[in-house]
Amino acid sequence: MDVLSRYPFLKREGARALRQMGLSGVEDLRDKYPWEFREGARVVLSILRGERPDIGGPGRFLVYLSSKMFLSALCDPVITGRYVNFERDALQRHMEADVERWLSGEDGVGELVERVLRDLNLNAIVEYPAIRIPIAQYTRHTSYFRNARYRLYMRPVADGMVILDMRHRTDREVFAHLVREAYASRLRAEIECIPSLAELYGDAVTEAKRLKEELLKSFSTAEFEKGVAEAFPPCVKAIIARIKSGENVEHHGRFFLATFLNHVGYSEEDILSIFSSAPDFEEGKARYQVEHITGKISGKVYSVPKCATLRAQGLCVKESYGDPLCEKDWLTHPLKYYRVVARRLTGRKT
């Protein structure tokens, strides 16, 4: 169980632990290990409050499973994103420590590192002093990062593998970010939306939604001086919260946010100030992209995507927000939402 206390996502070790404990479902976990079951929800709530809960110890594996079940019950991408970022950072710390142990010559650590990487579908080869990763997997998980040191042409390649020499600080930093992004992608994909689980967690579900709303308000009002930030539709608030939480938001999410903010009166500088919280932010490239979207460079002002487009891209969050306005048949565009709510709040047209 020591390995699972650091890497609770390992498939083989996790399956063995569940067999030994006789657990076959969420009800079993709740009935046989009530503390770990409740702790899973408490960890998520602590993260939403901006705390950094202690997630180590022998109960770590079961608490991790319960946290994932709680997130499945919530079906909320913003809350899931906060938790994923927290777990991502914890994994990075453990992996960095184990790489140091491996470099110092500690027996068996290299095999553990390789097993963790293979569980993350990185198919890496760990042979002192280098870690080799297939090109396709390397580029997939470094595509968010704009710094030149992550570019493939900056890294030595042999036999279809990118070579990271772990004796060098820069290579260790590239490796750490690569692994954390691979883990974040896997963890997000594993958290399904299962609303029927909500009844098992009781009041914790209500508390999570309350904390999420406080989070969105802090990100959507204090950060803005123009317009009516309280009138932003849930899809916009969700992307802002993800960026402010340190998540690498996909390209179409950033494109949508930039077009929306531009159309409701925010300048390029205002938009860049929001994007500056992203971990992959590079001002020069971000400025070019924003000025292209707003027409300063391209001569074309890009339109805000419709709700149907946002749904197809996985950016619509109405299922988890329960906003009655989003359920209206005529609500087909995020700008319609903004104008209606802004008019209610201010009594004037926007």
pLDDT tens string 163-191: 999 999 999 999 998 999 899 989 998 99
HSE on the CB side for 166, CA within 13 Å?
A: 24
Tell me the pLDDT band of 221, cut-offs 50, 70 and 90: very low
Q: What is the pLDDT of residues 35-44, one digit of tens each?
A: 999 999 999 9
* CB of 324 closer than 8 Å to CB of 318: no
Question: Which residue, among 303, 224, 228, 222, has the nearest Cα to 260 in the 3D structure?
Answer: 303
Residue 346 has pLDDT above 80, yes or no: no
Residue 218 — very low, low, confident or very high, per pLDDT cuts 50/70/90?
low
pTM of the model: 0.75
User: Is the pLDDT confidence value at 197 over 90?
Assistant: yes
Does an H or E element contain 158, and which?
Answer: strand 157-158
pLDDT, the chain, mean:
88
Whole-angstrom Cα Rg for the chain: 22
Other beta carbons within 10 angstroms of residue 236's beta carbon come to: 25
Q: Residue 243 pLDDT more than 80?
A: yes
Segments making up each domain of the chain, as ranges? 2-190, 221-346
- CA dist 333 → 75, 300, 338, 340 (Å): 23, 20, 9, 11
| Range list of β-strands (E), 104-150 | 125-127, 130-134
pLDDT for position 345: 80
Q: What is the pLDDT of residue 332?
A: 92
How many residues does this entry show for the chain?
Answer: 350
Give pLDDT, residue 224.
46
Do the beta carbons of residue 132 and residue 124 sit within 8 Å?
yes
